[in-house]
Amino acid sequence: MSLTRKVIYIAIGLVILLGLNQVFEHGLGDFQINGYYARIVNLIGIAITLAVSLNLINGLAGQFSLGHAGFMAVGGYSATYVTVFHGQQIAGLIGSSLGEVAGSALVMPISLVVGAIAAAAAGLVVGVPSLRLKGDYLAIVTLGFGEIIRVIILNIPAVGGATGFTNTTPITNFFWIFSMAILTIIIVANIRSSTFGRALSAIREDEIAAEAMGINTTRYKVMAFVISAALAGVAGGLSGQLFANPLNPQNLNFVKSIEVIVMIVLGGIGSITGAVFGAATITILPEALRDVDRQFPGMRMVIYSLLLILLMIFRPQGLLGRKEFSLDWFRRKKAAPAPPAAGGDTDV
């Protein structure tokens, strides 16, 4: 794709997103979107960012991390901290040179960048020691780090401690959520088709063989982990500023990490399309089951766990396996009626 074409695509994309944002936030003439549905759509966007970013480390690199909620918490708290305590300053500073509208609009991306950097730093600290481990050990250590992060946040009174981060201003909107979701998809898709991505696939298939081929496995694993953490931080920053009072360490424990795992396992470990599909399904599912969960508290988790077990028994590669959505799906159908099933390999 030439540069001009890229710029045109990006411009069209931004215009579409801004238009949809207008519709979602303010309605179109008499037409108003039900606030409840708009909220679910926003949550799906955040879940997509989370799931696709986790797919980078769990799916592409094959390193089973269970600490995603921890990075989400780091990113969310840092971003919200920036907005709450320095938002006015930033808006004033940028507003004085670029105008007031730009000033208040740019608080959000700046807070997200801060959140991403903080989460990336946490990812580096966690990744370097834990990525020397494999399988169950890695899962438990990342889970442990997630819990440590949560306990540390619980003990910081400036961000609310156990009561959660109150007095936040909801500045997240449809535009930011979906531009970040699309950005995450583009980043992960590009990584996948790069040398870096090939190296990660090699590590996933056989780490010893990859090392013998001259791949610096530790370096690539840590890089993937840090990028994944940074994107989780962005998702945290978005969800932290979505409602007036959403950040609470209790909601960012390892159950949240498992929820993201269910998303990517459902869609297919390693497939970006699968992660998007899983994110949407797992976000809508509890809403559909709201009445059941109210009657039997814990039912949501029972359904998640049954889903995990049944998937592992009957379709361990997930619904989509490693297949990706592409326009070829429609083209190939005309040329050859039966495309070969590519989801057969289970050796994740």
Partner 1 sequence: MNLDAAPSILGAIVVTMGSMAICAGIGIIIERFAYRPVRQHSRLTSLITAIGVSLLLEYGGQVVFTANPRFFPQMIRSETYTVGPVQITNQSLLIIVVSIILMFGLEFIVHKTKIGKAMRAVSHNLSVAKLMGINTDFVIAFTFALGSALAAAAGVMVALAIPKIDPLMGLMTGLKAFVAAVLGGIGSIPGAMLGGMIIGLMETWIGSTSYSTYRDAVAFGVLILILIVRPSGIMGSTTTEKV
Q: Which residues bind partner 1 (CB under 8 A)?
A: 62, 64, 129-130, 132-133, 135-137, 139-141, 143-145, 147-148, 151-152, 154-155, 208, 258, 261, 265, 269, 296-299, 301-302, 304-309, 312-313, 316, 346-348
Q: Which of 200, 205, 237 is nearest to 80 (CA)?
A: 237
CB 313 within 8 A of CB 88: no
The span from the CA of 15 to the CA of 7, in Å, is: 12
The span from the CA of 348 to the CA of 346, in Å, is: 6
Choose between 110 and 308: whose C-beta lies nearer to partner 1.
308
Q: How far is the CB of 64 from partner 1 (least distance, A)?
A: 6
Q: How far is the CB of 292 from partner 1 (least distance, A)?
A: 10
Choose between 95 and 321: whose C-beta lies nearer to partner 1.
321
CB 282 within 8 A of CB 263: yes
Choose between 143 and 177: whose C-beta lies nearer to partner 1.
143
Residues 6+ apart with CB under 8 A from 21: 173, 174, 175
Choose between 64 and 71: whose C-beta lies nearer to partner 1.
64
Q: How far is the CB of 68 from partner 1 (least distance, A)?
A: 14
Residue 92, CA distances (Å) to 70, 82, 88, 142 in order: 32, 14, 6, 40
Choose between 313 and 338: whose C-beta lies nearer to partner 1.
313
Q: How far is the CB of 58 from partner 1 (least distance, A)?
A: 9
Q: How far is the CB of 268 from partner 1 (least distance, A)?
A: 13
Q: Is the dihedral of CA 305, 306, 307, 309 positive or negative?
A: positive
Q: Which residue has 């990113």 as its token pair?
A: 75
DSSP string, 66-85: --HHHHHHHHHHHHHHHHHH
Residues 6+ apart with CB under 8 A from 343: 268, 317, 320, 321, 322, 323
CA atoms within 13 A on the CB side of 320: 22
Choose between 14 and 209: whose C-beta lies nearer to partner 1.
209
Q: How far is the CB of 106 from partner 1 (least distance, A)?
A: 36
Residue 31 has φ and ψ, to the nearest 5°, of -75, 125
Q: How far is the CB of 254 from partner 1 (least distance, A)?
A: 9
Residue 72 has φ and ψ, to the nearest 5°, of -60, -40
CB 83 within 8 A of CB 169: yes
Choose between 157 and 340: whose C-beta lies nearer to partner 1.
157
Choose between 79 and 348: whose C-beta lies nearer to partner 1.
348
Q: How far is the CB of 114 from partner 1 (least distance, A)?
A: 25
Q: Which of 66, 23, 77, 86 is nearest to 248 (CA)?
A: 77
Choose between 108 and 200: whose C-beta lies nearer to partner 1.
200
